[in-house]
Amino acid sequence: MFHAAMVPRVRKRSRPAEASVPRHDEVKFEDVRLYLVERKMGSSRRSFLTQLARSKGFIVDNVLSDMVTHVVSEDCQASSLWTWLKDCALKNLSNIQVLDISWFTESMREGRPVAVETRHLIQDTLPTEGPPPTPVAAVSQYACQRRTTIENNNKIFTDAFEVLAESYEFSELEGPCLAFRRAASVLKSLPMAVPCLAATQGLPCLGEHTKAVMEEILRYGRAFEVEKTLSDERYQTLKLFTSVFGVGPKTAEKWYRRGLRSFSDILAEPSIQLNQMQQSGFLHYEDISRAVSKAEARALGNIIDEAVHAITPDGILALTGGFRRGKEFGHDVDFIVTTPELGMETSLIPIIINRLTRQGILLYCDYQASTFDKSKLPCHRFEAMDHFAKCFLILRLEGSQVEGGLNSAEGDSRDWRAVRVDLVSPPMDRYAFALLGWTGSRQFERDLRRFARMERGMLLDNHALYDKTKKEFLAATTERDIFAHLGLEYIEPWQRNA
Ligand code: CTP
Ligand code: MN
Ligand code: MN
């Protein structure tokens, strides 16, 4: 009935969605992809609004596809619109915001996509029976019982929470810091953007404070407390100082108290003795504060792989950290290197370091020999370093080794860049624990340990899993074994971006 009339003039699959990306206007909002429904709007008004949005840096597709994030309609007849949408055979309609033209008008006025509020939504009216489709009861308070991909539908909230968490961390207020980190983590796991405060009902880890921040963001697109923090001199300075490799919050605070505010202040202060790590941090600041790409991570993997296999043919190399979780970019690249012969693994890293030195690509190395002692298991203080042999490196990466080239700054004409690399070398019988512990995310690890302790009476760290009731260690050769011991469903690495 409505279908024929509602099908837009440009039909599905008649040409690829990419073809409709604006060619001349600069895209400012990569994460937003609009589709304007022609019905009621009419084709000439639709093309006028399309031009307008593109000139303001929005992506507007002519074809409705799974890549579209915002559908805008002038037709407030929700039922017919939704009937048509459901007929479009999209993979996941719940990823798309279906919005009234008022959202579009406001966004054009502001020159940016305004936060979606309830009044903007054209809600599906059809399924009247049953409760509204809220994710509620299903969401666990533990990140290790949630599946969190790199796709974050609530970045507008989680970015704000992370600013506040970091600010509390700088003030050593662990409670509120953790509260905001947990809240951010819960929102990251949701399959859609939170459209209004009512939709957070029943979600764990969202308290008064976090909800107040969310409400402001929903209403005004920003939160006062976050804006205030971002413009705070202390926050800005500590953020700047801790962005240097080798500078933690304690050192940053000390420098701030001395009245130092910039890198040149620090470097000009004669009474400050930078350690080796900090000196390299400043020396390579531009490079290592730049994100490492997947292609660069792969190139570094090849270099380390060659080194490991030159030492022993049955050497084992595994990518871990953020890149194992499927991230496109990282602040470093993390690897596990080991060998099947127990005890032999401790000599691997020193030999690798030797080789990198001879190749002339070792720019900095902080090597920490193994202090692993089975009799002292488990060491369950979170964030406490594990006891395996490890090193924190800065390597020189040649552009010629990277498929598609380096992720260098514009105007940088060098054919190399410096990158941070971490290597850790657990004995083979600890491999699964080390892999699980170094894959992260940090929030996922925190909650795994908290879950083990609170729900199972077990202690988990990067070395082992201990059952306090049975007073015994639980062996594991794979990550799946550890999840099974904990009575947890297996969570894939790419679902651990909590
Ligand atoms: N880790 C650890 N012991 C250390 C350093 C790191 O157990 N001494 C773990 C962290 O808990 C984290 C993982 O190793 O889960 C990776 O750490 P890091 O490289 O800092 O973070 P990523 O998640 O890889 O993020 P990024 O992409 O920014 O590097
Ligand atoms: Mn990393
Ligand atoms: Mn790391």
Evaluate whether 337 touches 308 at the Cβ level (below 8 Å): yes
> Is residue 422 annotated as involved in ligand binding?
yes
Is 4 a domain residue? no
Tell whether 332 is in a known binding site. Answer: yes
Q: Which two tokens stand for residue 48?
A: 């006028």
Residues 89 and 36 in one domain: yes
In the predicted model, residues of the chain with pLDDT beneath 50 are 1, 4-5, 7-8, 10-19, 22, 128, 135-137, 380, 382-383
Can you give the three-state secondary structure of 291-348, one letter per residue? Answer: CEEHHHHHHHHHHHHHHHHHHCCCCEEEEEHHHHCCCCEECCEEEEEECCCCCHHHHH
Q: Judging by beta carbons within 10 Å of its beta carbon (0-12, 13-18, 19+), is residue 2 exposed, middle or buried?
A: middle
Spacing, Cα 114 to ligand 3 middle (Å): 36
Q: In the block, which residue shows the tokens 């001879």? A: 358
Look at ligand 1, atom 15, and give the residue with the nearest C-alpha: 440
**DSSP count for the chain of H helices, then E strands:** 19, 14
Residue 17: per-residue pLDDT: 47
Residue nearest to ligand 1 atom 6, measured at CA: 438
Q: Around ion ligand 2, which residues have CB less than 5 A away?
A: 321-322, 330, 332, 334
Domain at 175, CATH number: 1.10.150.110
State whether residue 230 is helix, strand or coil.
helix
**Residues 352, 304 contacting (CB under 8 angstroms):** yes
Nearest residue by C-alpha to atom 11 in ligand 1 = 442
Ligand 1 atom closest to the Cα of residue 330 is 27
Number of domains comprising the chain: 4
The residues assigned a catalytic role are: 332, 334, 422
CATH number for the domain that contains residue 31? 3.40.50.10190
**Ligand 1 pocket check for 385: Cβ under 6 Å:** yes
**Are 386 and 479 found together in one domain?**
yes
Domain that holds residue 260: 233-283
Q: Is 443 in the pocket of ligand 1 (CB under 6 A)?
A: no
258 with 167, same domain: the answer is no
Q: Say if residue 102 is in the same domain as residue 210.
A: no
Q: What is the pLDDT of residue 236?
A: 98
Q: Does residue 61's CB lie within 6 angstroms of at least one atom of ligand 1?
A: no
Please tell me the predicted confidence (pLDDT) of residue 382.
42
Ligand 1 in reach of 38 Cβ (< 6 A):
no
Q: Give yes or no for residue 420 CB within 6 A of ligand 1.
A: no
Residue to probe by mutation, ligand 1, list 385, 438, 439, most atoms within 8 Å of CB:
438
Mean pLDDT computed over every residue of the chain? 91
Domain at 247, CATH number: 1.10.150.20
Q: How far apart are CA 253 and CA 234, in angstroms?
A: 9
Together in a domain, 327 and 426? yes
Whether 147 lines ligand 1, by a CB cut-off of 6 Å, is no
Cα distances from 91 to residues 5, 85, 88, 115, 347, in angstroms, run: 23, 11, 9, 24, 51
Do 409 and 374 belong to one domain? Answer: yes
Integer Cα distance of 20 and 62 in angstroms: 6
d(CA 343, CA 325): 29
Work out the number of other CB atoms within 10 angstroms of the CB of residue 490. 12
| Beta strands at 389-398 and 362-368: parallel, antiparallel or unpaired | antiparallel
Same domain? 62 vs 104:
yes
